[in-house]
Amino acid sequence: MQAIKITDHVYWVGAIDWALKEFHGYTTHRGSTYNAFLILADKITLIDTVKAPFKQEMYERIRSVIGDETKVDILVSNHAEMDHSGALPEVIRDLKPEKIYASPMGIKALDAHFGIGSLLTAVKTGESISLGNMTLSAVETRMLHWPDSMFTYLAEEKVLFSQDGFGMHFATDKIFAVDNDWHVMLEEMKRYYANILLPYSPQVLNLLKVFPTLNLDVQTICPDHGPVWNGELLLKPLELYKAFAEQQYVPRAIVLYDTMWHSTEKMALHIADGIRQAGADVRVFALDAATRSDVAAELLDASALVAGSPTINNDMYPRTADVLTYLRGLRPKNMLGAAFGSYGWSGESVAKINAYLTDMKAELVSDGLKIQYVPKDADLEKCEDFGREIGARLLEKCHLTQPGKL
């Protein structure tokens, strides 16, 4: 397998995981790439490695650039998570780097994973790594999305290595973003941000504020997943991250539901219709079909979370709890919340959902809506009223006096 030239002296030597379906709870329906980059400086330098099973693919690509006597002089670990460090212990053994660099927190994390901390040298924000005729500068990006996360910048080639930042789970053999379908990339950027980075949006906004003050002339951004950004798309990931991180109110609601005998489903569809009647957009997720990360991705384009479940054994359905637990962990901002569900005799699901929504700091539209057993016409009218109330509150939050669409 061949490396791909990125700039005069930087090559992509990563691996493509066409089969990846799941990444710690996040469904990755287009696979992923584990990007590693080789810098042909006086000191041959490898930026990050790959997931352990993909080591040979990376070695082949490295060999395609520097031949069979494969050896790197310097190795930099920008992020300690195992999709980038899994191959690291074997790479150290096989490629025998003289120096290995990571952020101070990176050294702690890599030591905790592999017991290799004593082999590593710390590099902090503002410090440099000499590659002989070139220099890498470090910018720690703590909690984006791990404590160890770090960017490195190669001034001579104007390349920023951004580890998970500005990346996406998207298996493609077209390494440059400009050669890929924009709509696919936009969808996958959103999915990645919502499922991985959303809880760290305050840190993203801070980084976007601080980054220009570093005066780095960046012409290429090399993330550790998905395509490389340059040319006309260079600034797109920064613009998108700003919009994703700000999470401004938008006139769209998510209605998610699970159902036992279709009663909660009928409620969901009439609530969604009421939201539409009020002039807001709505996306309906039946949890028979949608995954937790499908719903999460929609959080970036919605400002009301309306969740429904029947009551079973004095609680909500397990899938509803699964999705709400996941969404709560993502800490979305500026959300309205509402709960609904059918019940037989006890009807706890609505209160249980409200507790999740309150934990998420969503602003509850009301105490929620419960219907016993099977909704009748009058009950379905109540569902539409409930939806209209949610829609109206959503428009009010968006300061819209007219029905609005995205």
Report the C-alpha gap between 231 and 101 in whole angstroms: 30
What are the beta bridge partners of residue 188? none
- Catalytic choice (9, 79, 84, 169): 79
Q: N- to C-terminal Cα distance for the chain?
A: 44
Q: Is 113 a catalytic residue?
A: no
If binding means CB under 6 A, how many residues of this protein chain bind ligand FEO? 8
Nearby residues of 395 by Cβ (< 8 Å), 6 or more positions away: 251, 278, 279, 280, 401, 403, 404
Instruction: Determine how β-strand 44-47 pairs with β-strand 74-77.
Output: parallel
Question: Cβ–Cβ contacts within 10 Å for residue 331, how many?
Answer: 15
What are the beta bridge partners of residue 34? 15
Q: Is 84 a catalytic residue?
A: no
Q: Is 24 a catalytic residue?
A: yes
Q: Is 192 a catalytic residue?
A: yes
Q: Which is nearer to ligand FEO, 160 or 365 (CB)?
A: 160
Stretch that binds ligand FEO, among 79-87, 114-122, 175-183, 270-278 (CB under 6 A): 79-87
Instruction: Please report whether residue 81 would count as binding ligand FEO according to CB under 6 A.
Output: yes
Report the C-alpha gap between 163 and 226 in whole angstroms: 11
- Do the beta carbons of residue 124 and residue 140 sit within 8 Å? yes
- Catalytic choice (17, 73, 83, 298): 83
Report the C-alpha gap between 58 and 46 in whole angstroms: 11
Instruction: Please report whether residue 294 would count as binding ligand FEO according to CB under 6 A.
Output: no
- Catalytic choice (9, 84, 169, 225): 225
Instruction: Please report whether residue 79 would count as binding ligand FEO according to CB under 6 A.
Output: yes
- Do the beta carbons of residue 271 and residue 384 sit within 8 Å? yes
- Catalytic choice (57, 81, 188, 294): 81
Report the C-alpha gap between 181 and 95 in whole angstroms: 36
CB of 226 to ligand FEO, least distance (A): 10
Report the C-alpha gap between 111 and 109 in whole angstroms: 5
Report the C-alpha gap between 228 and 226 in whole angstroms: 7
Q: Which is nearer to ligand FEO, 81 or 140 (CB)?
A: 81
Closest residue to ligand FEO, based on beta-carbon distance:
81
Q: Which is nearer to ligand FEO, 200 or 285 (CB)?
A: 200
- Catalytic choice (153, 192, 343, 356): 192
Q: Which is nearer to ligand FEO, 37 or 356 (CB)?
A: 37
CB of 293 to ligand FEO, least distance (A): 15
Angle (CA) 178-184-188 rounded to 5° is 105
Q: Which is nearer to ligand FEO, 79 or 393 (CB)?
A: 79
Q: Which has the closest alpha carbon to 231: 7, 47, 78, 15?
A: 7
Stretch that binds ligand FEO, among 2-10, 78-86, 262-270, 364-372 (CB under 6 A): 78-86
Under rule CB under 6 A, which residues in 223-242 are in contact with ligand FEO? 224-225
Report the C-alpha gap between 89 and 299 in whole angstroms: 38
Binding pattern for the stretch 23-62 against ligand FEO, x by CB under 6 A and - elsewhere: ----------------------------------------
Under rule CB under 6 A, which residues in 98-157 are in contact with ligand FEO? 145
Helix axes of 182-192 and 236-246: crossing angle, nearest 10 degrees:
40
CB of 105 to ligand FEO, least distance (A): 13
CB of 197 to ligand FEO, least distance (A): 10
3-state secondary structure of 347: coil
Q: Is 225 a catalytic residue?
A: yes
What are the beta bridge partners of residue 12? 4, 37
Q: Is 145 a catalytic residue?
A: yes
Q: Is 317 a catalytic residue?
A: no
Q: Is 169 a catalytic residue?
A: no
Active site residues: 24, 79, 81, 83, 145, 164, 192, 225
Residues that bind ligand FEO (CB under 6 A): 79, 81, 83-84, 145, 164, 224-225
